[in-house]
Amino acid sequence: MQETESRADNTPRESALEKLAQPEESHIRHVIAVVSGKGGVGKSSLSALLAVSLARDGYRVGLLDADITGPSIPKLFGLYQQPRAQNGKISPPKTALGIKVISLNLLLPNEDDPVVWRGPLIGGAVKQFWTDVLWGEIDYLVVDLPPGTGDAPLTVMQSLPLDGLLIVTSPQELAVMVVKKAIKMARMLEVPILGLVENMSGLICPHCGKPVELFGPSRAQAVAAETGVRLLGTIPLDPELSRLGDRGEIEAYRVDFLKEIPRLLENN
């Protein structure tokens, strides 16, 4: 037990040792990662919605799907074509709004093929998506992280020059417990946290118009107060968002409070 605590104490110092340089032939101004620690709370949807919000405001945006074994970003945007190779680098496809996207699912023969990789390969793939992709001129690169506090999140937090994290949770107490692990991990690694978003925060009944607390009452304010993380907003369960995501048309959906992210970065 004592040895485990010693390794944990060393983590912040180790995290400062290796930061990847800017990719060749690219210039990325800001990097934002979306993290939860808990699976199934909507990190990929929020990553996509953040990228869409930034693109709608005229920023040049890239979206890096770091969920190597469970990639879903291309499906949300209706992207299926494989990236082109250009001078030994990967040229990412663009969405309708011009968002540049890279995901392992774009490199597989079939979108439902599994990726059965161990940790070192996963971390290496994440690094390659940074170094070997022709991102070009990007104002914001959004990184969609997988659940947990393992190889991919650790690689991103240690190796990429992150400007901040967006934390995603849901009203369930079980989700909140796991999300707190991700918050503590970020603070151990000295990565700035921009704010907290509560997803799946109730449902508006389509028949009576009253809110329905499917996963219990919102805990967003309480979690923000307890952890000291700024609450950015809540997103209710919306069948329209699911429908648009399934059809690859997530760019048609808007979340207004995400427009505040550039201002928060400047003031961070």
| CATH at 97 | 3.40.50.300
Contact between 26 and 135 under an 8 Å Cβ cutoff? The reply is yes
Backbone conformation region of residue 148, classed left if phi is above 0, alpha if psi is from -120 to 50, else beta: left
User: Domain span at residue 93?
Assistant: 21-168+237-262
Q: Is residue 250 part of a domain?
A: yes
The pTM is what? 0.89
Q: How many degrees, rounded to 5, is the angle at CA 32 between CA 249 and CA 106?
A: 45
The pLDDT, as a whole number, for residue 139 is 98
Residue 68 lies in a domain: yes
90 occurs within a structural domain: yes
Indicate whether 258 belongs to any domain: yes
Helix, strand, coil percentages, rounded to 5, for the chain: 40, 20, 40
Q: Where are the beta strands (DSSP E) in 60-149?
A: 61-65, 84-86, 89-91, 100-102, 137-144
Q: What is the pLDDT of residue 12?
A: 42
* 205-208 contacts at long range (C-beta below 8 A, 24 or more positions apart): 206/239
Quick one: pLDDT at residue 26?
92
Q: Is residue 204 part of a domain?
A: no
Copy the structure tokens of residue 184: 């503590």
Number of domains forming the structure of the chain: 1
| Per-residue pLDDT in tens (0 to 9) along the chain, 268 residues | 333 333 444 444 344 446 888 888 899 999 999 999 888 899 999 999 999 999 999 999 999 999 988 899 999 999 998 999 988 899 999 999 999 999 999 999 888 888 887 778 888 999 999 999 999 999 999 999 988 777 888 889 999 999 999 999 999 888 888 889 999 999 999 999 999 999 999 888 878 878 888 888 888 999 999 999 999 999 999 999 999 999 999 999 999 999 999 999 988 7
CB 157 within 8 A of CB 15: yes
Please give the pLDDT value at position 110: 85
pLDDT the model gives residue 18: 66
Whether 129 is covered by a domain: the verdict is yes
Q: At 138, is the secondary structure helix, strand, or coil?
A: strand
- Residue 183 — left, alpha, or beta (φ > 0 → left; ψ -120 to 50 → alpha)? alpha
pLDDT of res. 149: 74
Residue 8's contacts (CB-CB under 8 Å, 6 or more residues apart) are: 188
Does residue 34 lie within any of the structural domains? yes
